[in-house]
């Protein structure tokens, strides 16, 4: 019954924007930290953002900092990833997940994952 479902991916031109959604069912998402990851063919999985539930802190790697923004809407039990100024190298399947640390973005272990949503950036 515990599920995460990503949506909002698609095909966009370089410089375009997308907003991804991570919707939770079977539990209340605002009690948990949530991370966004991506994986492109032939590449390792890369964390692109995380938001804690303990203090609301957010984290971004240099590859997306200034372009991506993570946020949550507790009323909708959903976490979002706003992606602006998209580049071809952003092309990947994007996943959301809950860390084993539960309320913080510490560590590399994640217990629950969504099915992923495809983002393709191409002209």
- With the C-alpha atoms ordered 63, 66, 68, 74, is the resulting torsion angle positive or negative? positive
Q: Is 60 exposed, middle or buried (0-12, 13-18, 19+ CB in 10 A)?
A: middle
Rounded distance, CA 106 to CA 50, Å? Answer: 10
pLDDT tens per residue across span 8-50: 999 999 999 999 999 999 989 989 999 999 999 999 999 999 9
CA dihedral 73, 76, 79, 81 (to 10 degrees): -80
pLDDT tens per residue across span 57-99: 999 999 999 999 999 999 999 999 999 999 999 999 999 999 9
**96-120 as b/e: b if 16+ CB within 10 A:** bbbbebeeebeeeebebebebbebe
| Residue 108 banded pLDDT, cuts 50, 70, 90 | confident
Rounded distance, CA 6 to CA 30, Å? Answer: 16
- For the chain, give the mean pLDDT: 95
């Amino acid at each position: 019954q515990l599920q995460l479902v990503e949506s909002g991916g698609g095909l966009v031109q370089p410089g375009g924007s997308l907003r991804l959604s991570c919707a939770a069912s079977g539990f209340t998402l605002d009690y948990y930290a949530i991370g966004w990851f991506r994986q492109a063919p032939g590449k390792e999985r890369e964390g692109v953002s995380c938001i804690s539930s303990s203090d609301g802190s957010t984290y971004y790697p240099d590859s997306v900092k200034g372009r991506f923004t993570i946020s949550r809407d507790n009323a909708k039990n959903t976490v979002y990833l706003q992606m602006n100024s998209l580049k071809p190298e952003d092309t990947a399947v994007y996943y959301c997940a809950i860390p084993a640390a539960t309320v913080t973005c510490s560590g590399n272990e994640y217990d629950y994952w969504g099915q992923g949503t495809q983002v393709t950036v191409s002209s």
